[in-house]
Amino acid sequence: MNAAYRVRRGFGRAGIYAGLIVGVILMIVPFWWMIATSLKSPIEILEFPPTWIPTGHFVQSAAGEWDEVYVVTRDDAAGTVTVRPIDGGSQQTLASEDVVSRARLRFQNYVEAWNQAPFARYYFNTIFVTIFVVIGVLITSSLAAYAFARMRFWGRDNIFLVFLSMMMVPQPVYIVPSYIVLVKLGWIDTYQALIIPWLAHIFSIFLLRQHFRTIPNDLYDAAIIDGCSRFAFLWRIILPLSKAMLVAVVIFTVVGTWNSFLWPLVMTNTPEVRPLQVGLARFSQEQGTSHELMMAAAAFSVAPLIVAYFFAQKQIIQSLATSGMKS
């Protein structure tokens, strides 16, 4: 008998599951809505009441083909429907039975949305930047963490504390002077502005340092006796032992870089270097009313991370929770 049993009796099993399911529904509905909208025709979007599953209405032509139409009015009393072909053409009024409704997924919205803005370029930019940032963070953090964890030098802990305190400073504080630094370097609107400032990540150094400290000294001494250099010790022994931690660092770096917004918004002006999130935001501002296109764009922008998420939820959740990353 444990506490779980007691609370269970208090709440009632059914109540617990009910509450959880409600939560699941509330989390899922916006995603469903995004995908459903992205597969509708522009006219179906205006339909009220809104449809949950993209539906198309079809009428059989004289030649026997099914043409898509949209509904202008329904007259239930007379049993007729007034329709107009979706590609333009004149209205006609038909008997209700002659108009067939079925699910119709308009995948071409995705193609259209993709073509309306340089998404290929945006995607490339994000992937390019992410790869370099991840490599950079891994290298700089491992090296620095190793030094902070296992080497002795004057002021070691104080310097580390200074590093840590930088972490507490919110981005709005350093983004303005960083902009000026980048202007002076001539890096605004270049990849450098998106990559270089992020090649070091203090929290990663912190995490790795904590982990490196747990590696027993005896291991090190034994390795030294066998003629191992300091660097070789890091490369051949510590890093392989720290795989899980390194994976965590990779994950939250990827997610953070992929989803970053304010920094790239400020540091880029042209589509050449603009990453996906900023491109998506611009697209949304430009489109205004083509909701199906906007939802399609949102969908294909989040797809990669979500797919990755479903394959590796446990690691991703653990990594992000440890990193203290919220957005």
Partner 1 sequence: MNWLDRLKRKKIMDPVTAALYIVPAGIIVLVFRMIPIASAFILSFFDVKMGRVRGFIGLAHYARLFQDPTFFSSLGTTAYYVIGVVPASLFLSLFLAVLLNQKIKGLGFYRTIYFLPVVTSLVAVSMVWKWIFHPRLGLLNFVFEKIGGNSLLWLEEPRGIFEMAAGGLGWEWWPEALSGPSLALVAVVIVAIWRGIGYNIVIFLAGLQNIPDQYYEAARIDGANTRGIFWRVTWPLLSPTTFYVMLSTTIVSFQVFTQIYLMTGPPVGGPMGTTKVIVYYLFEKGFDAGGNMGYASAVALILFAIILTLTLVQRRVVESRVYY
* Residues 265-284, mask of contacts with partner 1 (x by CB under 8 A): -x----------x--xx--x
Residues 154-213 that bind partner 1 (CB under 8 A): 154, 156, 159, 162-163, 166, 169-181, 183-184, 196-197, 199-200, 202, 205
Contact 241, 215 (CB under 8 A): yes
Tell me: cis bond preceding 49? Omega within 30 of 0 counts: yes
- On whether the CB atoms of residues 293 and 115 are closer than 8 A, the answer is no
Looking up tokens 């502005």, which residue turns up? 193
The token pair at 206 is 């912190």
| Cα–Cα dist 102/105, whole Å | 10
Question: Any contact of residue 151 with partner 1 (CB under 8 A)?
Answer: yes
Q: For residues 15 and 89, which CB has a smaller minimum distance to partner 1 in the complex?
A: 15
Binding piece for partner 1, criterion CB under 8 A, among 81-89, 98-106, 135-143, 239-247:
135-143
3-class SS of residue 229:
coil
- Which residues within the stretch 17-76 sit at the binding site for partner 1 (CB under 8 A)? 17, 19-20, 23-24, 26-31, 33-34, 37, 45-46, 48-50
For position 16 contacting partner 1 by CB under 8 A, the verdict is yes
- The two structure tokens encoding residue 237: 């022994």
Q: According to CB under 8 A, which one of 69, 138, 249, 316 is a site residue for partner 1? A: 316
Q: Residue 186 burial by CB count (10 A; 0-12/13-18/19+): exposed, middle or buried?
A: exposed
Q: C-beta of 316: minimal distance to partner 1 in Å?
A: 7
Please say which residue, 84 or 291, places its beta carbon nearer to partner 1.
291
Contact between 3 and partner 1 by CB under 8 A: the answer reads yes
Closest by CA to 248, choosing from 310, 317, 150, is 317
In the bound state with partner 1, the residue whose beta carbon lies nearer, of 190 and 284, is: 284
Residue 7 or residue 222: which is nearer to partner 1 going by CB?
Answer: 7
Largest interatomic CA distance in the chain: 96
| Minimum separation from the CB atom of position 93 to partner 1 (A) | 26
Q: How far is the CB of 56 from partner 1 (least distance, A)?
A: 18
Neighbours of 109 (CB within 10 A): 24
